[in-house]
Amino acid sequence: MDSQVIVITGASSGIGAALAKQLGAQGQRLVLAARRQAELEKVAGPFGANALAVVTDVCRRGDVEHLRERALEQFGQVDVWVNNAGRGISRKVLELSDADVDEMIAVNLKSALYGMQAIVPYFQQRGRGHLINVSSFLGRIPIVTPRSMYSASKAALNSLTANLRMDLRRDFPNIHVSLVFPGTTATDFSANALGAAPGAGTVAGPAGAQSAGDVAAAIVRLIDSPKPEIYTNPNNSPEFVARYYQDPGAFEANLNRP
């Protein structure tokens, strides 16, 4: 992979931090964004002048626009923008409050929208670029009901991303728009979810959990060879999704069998 300037949100831990480490090891120039300054600078530190840490609240449009400007000021270009920031929730549909819904939409959907609206016009002016939105397998199949609003926000992200790709397809063939679908991943995501029980950690799904490094490696390959969508876990595959959409009732009934 040639040296590129890559912006990553949610870069202080989990998939974002793992992605930064792998790309930094390749000599890529990184612009890393998150709210936690100390953790963010720890990720950026080993890469010296090749990494810029920008404290960013992705729920604020102005912060996301500032992130773009800092990237351009520091490195003169942006080649890849990864909307990775997100947060989970542990509440079923009938337990959701207005505040829960607003939080999930702000962190998982609006933050990515701000990123898209900040960087894609720049890509259009430049004539090329790669936008990557990190979604979730749960945005395609409702197999973990306490993640209800998280799944709904990711489903909305899927739709926005696909519509943007269609908008750009004819006039901007060198702007790539990709969705990444991780399965269950061994990070502190579950522990940080809204409504998580004290001491909650990662719970392996039916196919087991991937490491953050596994997901990051799949995104590295996607940057090198852009595609509209990738599933990072072969056990959570497009074929598995297709079985759900062919007959949701049968799929759900089979899933709920003891």
Q: Which residues are catalytic?
A: 150
Q: Is 132 helix (H, G, I), strand (E, B) or coil?
A: strand
φ and ψ at 145, to 5 degrees? -65, -30
- Per the DSSP assignment, residues forming a β-bridge with 54 are 33
Give the Cα-Cα-Cα angle 93, 178, 107 (nearest 5 degrees): 40
- Which strand (E) or helix (H) includes residue 82? strand 80-83
Four-residue CA torsion sign, 89, 91, 94, 96: negative
Residue position matching structure tokens 């992130």: 67
Residue labelled with tokens 């959907």? 109
